[in-house]
Structure 1
């Protein structure tokens, strides 16, 4: 049996060779994903360099809900070609876990990772993307550029006519928006009080793309509770148009997760891919695509790691968003309070 191009870590069991051999006969992998090809490409390049016989590795770019709905519909008829699901929507993952359709697999990388790595049974975090504030550097003088949502609230209150209707926010009525807003108000000291101050100046949008477009055009000066994985690369490439900031009062980081489904037609390749994503090499490749690695000690220069964010803000001000399925009444009450704050 030919070995892989680079030797496996010594802590991998000898039986792992059987997974590798199985993948040689599968040759492909299909991921139902909400993640862009720009993010995936460095990961796929590094993965296929390690396992060059996997010549057909592909990922979709579905909407968040479509990742799950497409798979559920196909699985009900026994015809799904998907091997893995990828998303950063905590409530959707909690519902997925309750259906018990994740393949049971314990990655040999687990003991080298923080305790939250397996966020739910069979669901593995492979990045933790920070939720940030985006702003337009051309419409704002340096003294009006915030360092978080609390800072932004003070700026807006000091110039109410200037900033009325100039703040965009991720809508909590969708899965991602609810998760990040709820995580902020649940974990950041005075979170609801800050929202009560800033939301009267805000409009909610359903997509990050809309928020980015409106900030770039100047329709909004700011956008809050938006994924850093989406906006930080855009801001860095905007030739000075866009700026961004963590929330100094407390930054939420959202696990972007992956799961092998029980019906995976290429289960060997799927296991290799999960383990690669969780390895040092895979975490560095994820960083090259703009994601936030969380495995300690990963060598990369592309973006802040979780440990970098913790050093900048303090560990107590970095909050990992939990994957939990909340009762509809709880969500309805949250949305009602949000709408009241908008006034």
Structure 2
């Protein structure tokens, strides 16, 4: 009888013990995730496909499916799915930090007290709903053939000085995200002009030099690589790194982290309020925050949010905090004021 009780006790303990390899997800969530069988993740790029094999090896009963959308399409689809009562997304994970915070604030996310969230810095967590998974610097990309090493602006101040000293040299030679049509472009404009005292002077100098605005990033980098532009301003360092590794050796382009300061963004994830597979969503979120998941992100050339993995984040970072301050970007009065000043610079006489 004692042996039977001992066996029963061990079975009960096994049922309560950790069932997620390498992460602290609660065993009940892992078992329920296996019954759900799938987790659908909306993302705004396709650099995460290599996560699939590792995640599904760890959780063979859960299929991981990514759906690649633009940040704006993701926002529209999440809202429409909630209205129709026919949700598809379990997790939304994008680099459009302000849009993510807006969706969370408007009630499209559910709360999850993740046992892995303690590994994230305070600025990357909000209300146990939004979780920043990376810590990515915003960089300058430049043409290494056309700009000699001593000509490359290595800070915002150096770029402003170069534009003022020789505006003709830079005329039409800078690309940047369009803050009117690109969500990330507006985020950068808003953050730069808040953080950098000469932010507006720099944007106005770029406008006077007829800097060209873009929505997607690749055409901008293609034009830097071809020599049509000398520099791409405010580019996600992870994307710049991917582009340089794939195209740089043959086109001789490079990137640098500005020395005076750099914005630092995080890819924010949340579980949708009506997630069809909520337990699988928890397992996936914990995987992203776990050491194993963070190492996979590092292999994908994304700067992990957890400390102590890989190279240290470059100094001078100004992290854009996951939280309510980003809601100011949706204040129509503030937004129109920022864009009006942007438009005024674009419309000014370039001479």
Q: TM-score, normalising length from structure 2? A: 0.86
**Deviations for 1:132-178, whole angstroms, at most 9, x for unmatched residues?**
11111122222222213322222233322221111111111121111
In the alignment, what sits opposite 1:233?
242
Matches within 5 A, 1:206-221: 206-221=215-230
Query: Which of residues 245, 250, 259 is equivalent to 1:248?
Result: 259
1:223 aligns with 2:232: yes
**Deviations for 1:101-158, whole angstroms, at most 9, x for unmatched residues?**
2111011012222102214551111112221111111222222222133222222333
Query: Which of residues 285, 288, 291 is equivalent to 2:299?
Result: 288
Alignment partner of 1:252: what SS?
strand
Quote the Cα distance in structure 1 between the aligned partners of 2:264 and 2:22. Answer: 30
Matches within 5 A, 1:164-175: 164-173=171-180, 174-175=182-183
State the Cα distance separating 1:257 from its structure 2 match. 0.7
1:328 aligns with 2:339: no
- Structure 2's unaligned 5+ residue stretches are 1-13
Matches within 5 A, 1:177-192: 177-192=185-200
Query: Which of residues 28, 32, 44 is equivalent to 1:34?
Result: 44
Quote the Cα distance in structure 1 between the aligned partners of 2:198 and 2:126. Answer: 26
Quote the Cα distance in structure 1 between the aligned partners of 2:298 and 2:278. Answer: 25
In the alignment, what sits opposite 1:313?
none
Query: Which of residues 42, 62, 66 is equivalent to 1:59?
Result: 66
Quote the Cα distance in structure 1 between the aligned partners of 2:152 and 2:145. Answer: 11
In the TM superposition, structure 1's runs of 4+ consecutive aligned residues that sit over 6 Å from their partners are 1-6
Aligned residues: 324
Alignment partner of 2:194: what SS?
helix
Alignment partner of 1:292: what SS?
coil
Question: 1:170·1:204 contact (CA, 8 Å) conserved in 2?
Answer: yes
Alignment partner of 1:40: what SS?
coil
Q: Say if 1:8 and 1:131 are closer, same or farther in 2 by CA, change over 3 A.
A: closer
Alignment partner of 1:290: what SS?
coil
Query: Which of residues 263, 266, 270 is equivalent to 1:259?
Result: 270
**Deviations for 1:28-78, whole angstroms, at most 9, x for unmatched residues?**
111111121xx2123222222221222x21111111111111121122111
Quote the Cα distance in structure 2 between the aligned partners of 1:181 and 1:229. Answer: 19
Question: 2:55·2:64 contact (CA, 8 Å) conserved in 1?
Answer: no
In the alignment, what sits opposite 1:309?
314
Q: TM-score, normalising length from structure 1? A: 0.88
Matches within 5 A, 1:72-221: 72-119=79-126, 121-173=128-180, 174-201=182-209, 202-221=211-230
State the Cα distance separating 1:199 from its structure 2 match. 3.2
